[in-house]
Structure 1
């Protein structure tokens, strides 16, 4: 039996892995940390622009959250910081509020990090990490692809040099872009297209190279040499130098209700994004260290403490984690070196980014989010699972044309409705005995091997029995009795797939049993698992059925129906075993 680690070690996993740290890992962690840190400089500033914030806030969000995750995270390779998805959610959520100016907007974005962080910590302490399971892959794929399209098109104004108003709806972005075609600045477009080309070229040459940073450096040099700002190309401008100061975020109390739905959405989406990429890396490494509830706490603390140092919402990012993994990171210490790069940048070299064209950051974003658009998975679903393909399309369409929050929330709702629909009409198999064997199989699948026995209806119900499908169960049972080739004298329910029976279904079963008794039809139950047997006893349904009609296997029930052969003492003990 595994020994449960002390509570301090569970809350601060660094106390577990740091004493086991090997000196040989230091070089790999240093290399990975420096690479990710260098990558974070242009990415962080670009993602801050998506969120509607000055670029420096992307650097602030790349500093403290990483350090906190080093102390509290359970993934060895998750790359913390600002991400495109959360940045878009921040912009979409705050953009819908009537804010007085950029100062209030920045204050709300920082408080949002505190708010979502507190929610994540509470969910983690309450062990609510299972909530992410309700985000099915079709919903995630549809939502992510649509969000990537919106993020990409939201950068058109920077790529074209126009003044297109921001929006989180694709059709409005497209319409407004067409409305401002006369404002297109040719030189800005050229700079942006060349930057996309440079990034893609260097990624193709070597995927481990910091292609975005190379494009940023080249564009800064070109901007200074060619004096692009004087020629109408918009640049980042002055970035405040120095580390972010400590300040507790505050907002008016009447704003909390406006921020609550945004904070809840961000808390769950950020967790989903981080846990999915961390699990993917863990599967590649064949490790099993990830603890979802602790990850919620780690992400929450990173956001809460990060907000005290002017960070807006952060989480684990896909691209940074992939680079961290590819460059050989061995422990969360790589994030410490990554944060060190950001700290040095803020302290000493922010002046270098003054001449950076906004079009470059737009190019960085467009290339980054293009990888989030998944075409292969929808095609696969179209050929194999039409219902889930439709769910993906619905989520994609809602996210694209109605809104980001609505897309994920309604996507989850529709996926749950699909689940309810499936369980309300589960699979039912009519069974027959395989000739010359003790096995019973679906007559539709084993037409030649299996045979039905006159007067006996055997069927398997592949779901729990509850209020949502009890009428379907009753309807299908009566239909099968009526359509049976010979008059039915015995019904055998193979209950091995029935793992629960709720009170409503118990009432319906009692009605069915009384009705069958009046029609002189014997009802037998075979293969009921322990939890189901407990319900039969606790509900008193065992008395209506009769304990002599409960069998441990379909063969036992069949022998009873055909030969009136009762079970052995051992078989009877197994079939009637209950808890306690």
Structure 2
């Protein structure tokens, strides 16, 4: 799609999103364990770089809650949160995420956006959202918590009610109530900006005596490639996971709006666009970025028509950066409330009940993924890896199974196998068929109807041949019906010497 000059709607939408992105980026940076200003750096450059080649005209790129939690999990074992080393490692991580996404887009592996197991994503996302909410409890209560584990931090804060700040708690709860309630009134009103400005003005006027985020440096991002590249080996695996998992959200956003507008969406271009966004965020002193549901929706509703809206959003944040120091008085409870609002929208338990109702194996993928992610925090990427492994095991289990439906009529045994017959499942089929002969000693003829087999490779045909040869030793004739067309020529060559092939209409 050719990038035309920005229309009036793109400018209005871009500025509108920027006014929401600025306070959100501060909050998400704190969630990631970074000083808030580094969220602003990512918010300034990532939307501009992402707009260069991305496929969706609506997708808004920048700091997001899920990627922020993944960043915290990846970096917390390597450096103290908030330290200069932690900040530098976050920039390296963003570059690696960007490089991975650009590479995947260039080699046209954008289809990976569709391959992530939905139960795995569900279990991980809901657990991550719970952890995100837990991580904000100390800030919400202005209570001490000395742990990188969000669940433990929440427990520590909640277990000491004597340390709670009622004023801080009321401010945070008010933020959540106003933003969530306000969206029901009108999604076009920038409720996030309204509560942020109101709290900032009250804090500067001395009406709110609660914890503040502290110094926020003013000025443009410190662009540099002088980063601690020696950390690359420790960050490769987390970077690949963030590149893939973090792409699920922008991919779903882009697909949804492309379908609604009957427009084409190119996942390869989107991978490259999101990759450029992260490369830019890394060299600008930011951290990994992703696509935001809420900001993309606002972008579309306020009139965006091209990718220029994302560039306008980034440019607006750049204009604000020289004056970022005025945000120093912003209460941390406000940021906590904003993060909680974003996380609550990700907590959806209905899919778990759906999996239980329609597919117990998928339920047994989603729930352990959820539990593992909670227990292994802050290394949440390990919970994700466990979920991926479980999904792979379930897939293998299904691929290894060949279900048999059988009927007996006089001396004829009719067998209807269903599944995928290939090298891994063939031995099981041969064993099952041999067992059926033992169970039915009066049978003198076996009719094997294979039209329901999804795949029939050479190993599968050899398994049928082995069974036919064994059956012949007992005086049992084997007839194979309805071999799939893709395997028919080979089946004749392999099976004709030992059994009879018949082509009939499937029943």
TM-score, structure 1 as length reference: 0.81
Q: How does 1:397-476 map to 2 (within 5 A)?
A: 397-403=371-377, 404-430=380-406, 453-476=409-432
Structure 1 residue 485: Cα displacement:
9.8
Q: Is the 8 A contact 1:391 1:415 kept in 2?
A: yes
User: 1:423-482: CA deviations, max 9, x gaps?
Assistant: 222333347xxxxxxxxxxxxxxxxxxxx6544333332222124322331233234445
Partner of 2:311: 336
Q: C-alpha offsets along residues 265-294 of structure 1, whole Å, 9 cap, x if unaligned?
A: 11111122221222222233333x222233
Matched residue, 1:520: 475
Are the equivalent residues in 1 in contact too, given 2:65–2:132 (CA < 8 A)?
yes
1:173 to 141, 149, 153: 153
For residues 275 and 100 of structure 1, the distance between their equivalents in structure 2, rounded to whole angstroms, comes to 30
Q: Against the structure 1 CA distance between its residues 101 and 326, is the aligned structure 2 distance closer, same or farther, given a 3 Å change threshold?
A: closer
TM-score by length of 2: 0.92
Relative to 1, partners in 2 of residues 1:247 and 1:98: Cα closer, same or farther, differing over 3 Å? Answer: closer
**Aligned positions of 1:542-553 closer than 5 A:** 542-545=495-498, 549-553=500-504
Q: 2:211 aligns to what SS in structure 1?
A: coil
Question: Which residue of the partner structure matches residue 292 of structure 1?
Answer: 267
3-state DSSP class of the match of 1:73? coil
Q: State the alpha-carbon separation in 2 of the partners of residues 290 and 216 from structure 1.
A: 35
Residue aligning to 1:391? 365
Name the structure, 1 or 2, with higher relative contact order (CA <8 Å, separation 6+): 2
CA gap of 1:248–1:461, structure 2 versus 1, over 3 A, is same
Matched, 1:239 2:216: yes
In structure 1, how many angstroms separate the alpha carbons of the residues matched to 2:444 and 2:300? Answer: 63
Supply the RMSD in Å over aligned alpha carbons.
Answer: 2.5
2: distance between equivalents of 1:521 and 1:282?
Answer: 59
SS at match of 1:462: strand
In structure 2, relative to structure 1, the CA distance for the partners of 1:149 and 1:494 (3 Å cut) is: same
Distance change (3 Å), C-alpha of 1:64 and 1:240: same
Q: What secondary structure sits across from 1:461 in the alignment?
A: strand
- 1:355-412 Cα distance to aligned partner (Å, 9 max, x none): 2101101000001110000122222223333332232111110001123111111111
Change (3 A) 1:516 1:140: same
Specify the alignment match of 1:67 in structure 2: 48
1:193 corresponds to 2:146: no
Give me the whole-angstrom Cα distance separating, in 2, the residues matched to 1:197 and 1:513.
71
Counterpart of 1:487 in 2: which secondary structure? coil
CA contact under 8 A between 1:513 and 1:544: conserved in structure 2? Answer: no
**Contact map agreement 2:53 2:273 (CA 8 A) in 1:** yes
Q: Is the 8 A contact 1:500 1:532 kept in 2?
A: yes
CA contact (8 A) 1:495 1:525 kept: no
CA distance in 2, matches of 1:182, 1:502: 72
Q: Any conservation in 2 of the 1:466–1:501 contact (CA below 8 Å)?
A: yes
1:361 aligns with 2:363: no
1:107–1:249 contact (8 Å) kept in structure 2: no
Q: Mean Cα displacement is larger for which, 63-72 or 109-118?
A: 63-72
Q: The residue matched to 2:347 in structure 1 has which SS?
A: coil
Correspondences of 1:213-228 after superposition (within 5 Å): 213-228=193-208
- Which one of the candidate residues 7, 27, 39 is aligned to 1:46? 27
Provide the C-alpha distance between the structure 2 equivalents of 1:532 and 1:303, rounded to a whole number of angstroms. Answer: 47
Cα contact 2:447–2:481 (8 A) shared by 1: no
Structure 1 counterpart SS, 2:102: helix
Cα separation, 1, equivalents of 2:451 and 2:211? 70
1-side partners of 2:141 and 2:489: how far apart?
Answer: 68
Which sections of structure 1, spanning at least 5 residues, go unmatched?
A: 1-15, 432-451, 559-580
Q: How many residues align?
A: 505
When residues 26 and 426 of structure 1 are mapped into structure 2, their CA distance, relative to the original with a 3 A threshold, is farther
Query: In the alignment, is residue 96 of structure 1 matched against residue 52 of structure 2?
Result: no
Match of 1:303 among 253, 257, 278: 278
Gaps of 5+ in 2: none
**Structure label with greater radius of gyration:** 1
Q: Distance in 2 between matches of 1:98 and 1:79?
A: 30
- Partners of 2:337 and 2:229 lie apart in 1 by 37
For residues 308 and 82 of structure 2, the distance between their equivalents in structure 1, rounded to whole angstroms, comes to 39
